[in-house]
Amino acid sequence: MIQAILVFNNHGKPRLVRFYQHFPEEIQQQIVRETFHLVLKRDDNICNFLEGGSLIGGSDYKLIYRHYATLYFVFCVDSSESELGILDLIQVFVETLDKCFENVCELDLIFHMDKVHYILQEVVMGGMVLETNMNEIVAQIEAQNRLEKSEGGALG
């Protein structure tokens, strides 16, 4: 199961935080900070898996992360998930963002936070992988956009 999905930039500013297990707000912030420090001190090109920090889980949990330009995408998962599978899932999520936003960048995550959440919801639900087929995900998002447009139109 995926316990949390954290996206932050190179300075540790959170850009997307999604917990699938309930933590109080201040612990959530602590987890983001701790994870950032764990990931930050690692060079690129070393392994993408590391033992979880002290706040989430313990030895059964792993952080699986990818670093894209200015953003870190970190998934905190338990041992029931395949490490490489999650690594690919991050890629699917990012590629989908890229398709929906046409060359996604950090600002898209800030200004379209709701949309980013909706895209994520099509990929991961309640901590489990919902859909991995990019075309299917994009189709769902496009259907949402059409609905939104039609309602927007009605509103004038």
Binding other proteins by CB under 8 A: which of 34, 67, 98, 118?
A: 118
In the block, tokens 């309930």 appear at: 22
The rounded distance, in Å, linking the Cα atoms of 122 and 137 is 6
Of residues 94 through 113, those in contact with other proteins by CB under 8 A are: 110-113
Q: How far are the Cα atoms of 31, 87, 89, 140, 150 from residue 74, in angstroms, in the given order?
A: 11, 10, 11, 24, 35
Binding other proteins by CB under 8 A: which of 42, 67, 101, 153?
A: 42
Binding other proteins by CB under 8 A: which of 48, 74, 76, 104?
A: 48
List the beta strands (DSSP E) in 10-145.
14-19, 49-51, 61-68, 71-78, 124-125, 128-129
- DSSP H or E stretch at residue 5: strand 2-9
Binding other proteins by CB under 8 A: which of 27, 37, 60, 70?
A: 60
Summarize as ranges the residues that interact with other proteins (CB under 8 A): 1, 13-18, 20, 22, 24-25, 29, 32, 42-43, 45-51, 58-60, 80, 82-85, 87-89, 91-92, 110-114, 117-118, 121, 125-136, 140, 143-144, 147-148, 151-152, 155
